[in-house]
Structures are given as structure tokens and as C-alpha cells.
Amino acid sequence: EESAMSDVRAVSTREDAIDALNKGEGFKFDPNLTSIDLKSRYFDYESDQGSQLVASALQAENKVDTIVLSSNWIKPSGMTLLAEAFSGHPVVSLDLWNNALEDEGMETLANAFSGSKTLSKLNVATNQIGPQGIVAFAEKLLAGNSSLTWLRLSSNKAGTQGALAIA
């Protein structure tokens, strides 16, 4: 496994990462890269392959702390793959706008960042998240994360229960 990761190419630009995603090839982030923007690639439309590739890249040693994964059709199963990579990784800003996380994916995300002292910006707008996911988020992430200063939850289905949980 160790040698397999050393054989994948290091990407230092959005274009390099997109090329690897489009080809379904493993990659790792350049050691000096601190942010990656992979928005609007729809890499999980048919499967979770894109989430798996990004998760593997994040699990290798890197300095990436700003991650944009908006508009990629990330579903709860894809979030499960990514959450393992996020957990323990010093993510400062995460943009997951316009995916398909739903309640299950939001709960998985909240568990991954529960107790995080680095996450300060989170965008999970337009993800089909209902009251159950919002409540789990409030209980697991908001309660234990003193560093979160910017949050976007708009265009979800929070309902009264979800709204009260984050109030």
C-alpha cells in the first residue's frame, strides 16, 4: 500500500487534479499545496470514485487545509469515504455546496469534525439536508467546535426542529 501511494502522481494545480479525476487515476497533493478547488466536476454522479480518489489524496501527507468540493454529486456514501480523510486532518475551510449529502451524509460529516479546533468555515448549502441532519450537526459539531465562525446551511430542509437546534 505504501509503495502504491508513492507511484501516484503529485498534483499541484486544479487542472492536474481534474485530469487525474477524469482518468480515474490516483493522485496525491503536492507537499506545498494548501488549498484545492475541485468544484463543479460532478465526479460522484455515477459512483463514489471521485470521493475515493480525493479521500486517498487527503490521507497522504500534505498541507491542504482549504478544500472546495462543491457541485460534485457527493452522496452519503461518498461522504463516508471523505469523512475518514477529514477526521484528524487540519481542515480550516470546507465548501460542500450543492451536493447530495442528505441527513446521513451530514451526520457523517458532523462526526468527522466533532471536536475540531481548526474548522472555521463550512458551506453545506443546497444538500437536501433535513431536520435530522441539522440536529446531528448542531449536537456534534456546533457544540464541540469553538473555531467555527462561518456557516452556510441555506437551501436545505431544516424545518422548525433543525432551526431550533442551530439557534
| Residue 152 dihedral angles phi and psi, to the nearest 5° | -125, 120
Q: What is the CA radius of gyration of the chain?
A: 15
pLDDT of 144: 65
Residues in the chain with pLDDT < 70? 1-7, 144-146
Give residue 2's pLDDT.
43
- Predicted TM-score (pTM) of this structure: 0.90
Q: What is the pLDDT of residue 161?
A: 87
Query: How confident is the model at residue 119, as a pLDDT?
Result: 92
| pLDDT at residue 4, rounded to an integer | 45
Nearest to 93 by CA among 63, 65, 54: 65
What's the pLDDT score for residue 5? Answer: 47
pLDDT in tens, 80-126: 999 999 987 899 999 999 999 999 999 999 999 988 889 999 999 99
What is the 3 state secondary structure string of 17-78? HHHHHHHCCCEEECCCCCEEECCCCCCCCCCCHHHHHHHHHHHCCCCCCEEECCCCCCCHHH
**What's the pLDDT at 43?**
84
